[in-house]
Amino acid sequence: MPLNIPNILTLARILTLPLLLWMIYQDSAAWAIWAFALYALSAITDFFDGYLARKLNQTTAFGTFIDPIADKIFVLGVLLVLVDLATINGLWLIAVLIIIVRELLVSGLREFLGPHNIKLPVTQLAKWKTTIQMVALALLILAPSWSIALLAGQITLFVAALLTFITGAQYLSAGLKAMKDIDSK
């Protein structure tokens, strides 16, 4: 495992997750600010690890493997804590379910198609989905310290869930087409 700057940033995101989740669990206005700050820093590393890997020509097999896993662990961990605290509850749970199902679906498709040398590249819409999802989680983390953040976060999470559904359907369609091609060989 090469320890270059992009991989260190990715690993740091994973290693800070327990602290972030603990801060969110404090469920107080003061801790919400600290949790938001750590979350924002982690979200920034998510952008910079990929950017620096390409810019510095430090793309590695380990980085390609661990970055999407780190992203999923990070998002799902925060979502589950927010559900446990009832920050996300009621009908808003449908958005969480859509996000979780899509992440499992796309990961499964990529795992299945990988040995067949078929890739499901990240689409521009999926990048927007990730950005909106990150903003939604940031707002929901801030909810204990900023009352409007709860509603804004829920609405933003709903938009993220819609994009998640659309991109999930796109990936599923591409994956099923690739499976059909595999079966016809």
Q: How far is CA 79 from the centre of its chain?
A: 10
CATH number at residue 18: 1.20.120.1760
pTM of the entire predicted model: 0.91
Give the separation between CA 66 and CA 111, rounded to whole angstroms.
14
Q: What is the pLDDT of residue 47?
A: 87
Percent of the chain with pLDDT over 70: 99
Q: What is the pLDDT of residue 77?
A: 97
What torsion do the CA atoms of 16, 19, 24, 28 make, to the nearest 10 degrees?
-130
Confidence band of 2 (pLDDT split at 50, 70, 90): confident
pLDDT tens digits along 114-145: 899 998 888 999 999 999 999 999 999 999 99
Composition of the chain by helix, strand, coil, percent to 5: 85, 0, 15
Q: What is the pLDDT of residue 86?
A: 96
Give the separation between CA 108 and CA 182, rounded to whole angstroms.
16
- Domain of 13, in residue numbers: 5-184
Structurally, the chain folds into a number of domains equal to 1
pLDDT tens digits along 44-79: 998 899 899 999 999 998 998 899 899 999 999 999
